[in-house]
Amino acid sequence: MLVWHVTTMKKLSKYKETGYIKPPVRGWVNIEAAERFSKQTGRRIIIRLKFDKDVQKLEGHNGEAVYTLSPVRLENI
């Protein structure tokens, strides 16, 4: 499943350092929701991730937010 993850430059640097994002990893099911969250929180970086099959929906967020309890490896950043 492709999702969009909203983050900061500081966190992105940590992700690059370790090569993955530690769980729980949250994401948005569409780019519009990610952009809206980015504007609301001031987190300006949006990256596209591929989640495995163990995706769960976050309560609230109009059904547009999901998360996984597995680490997500970074590729091509």
Whether the pLDDT of residue 77 is over 80: the answer is no
CA distance 10 to 54: 27
Reported as a single tens digit per residue, the pLDDT across 16-62 is: 999 999 999 999 999 999 999 999 999 999 999 999 888 999 998 88
Burial of residue 5 (number of CB atoms within 10 Å: 0-12, 13-18, 19+)? buried
Check residue 76 and give its pLDDT.
79
pLDDT band per the 50, 70, 90 thresholds, residue 4: very high
Once rounded to an integer, what is the mean pLDDT over residues 59-69?
Answer: 93
Check residue 26 and give its pLDDT.
97
Domain boundaries, the chain: 2-73
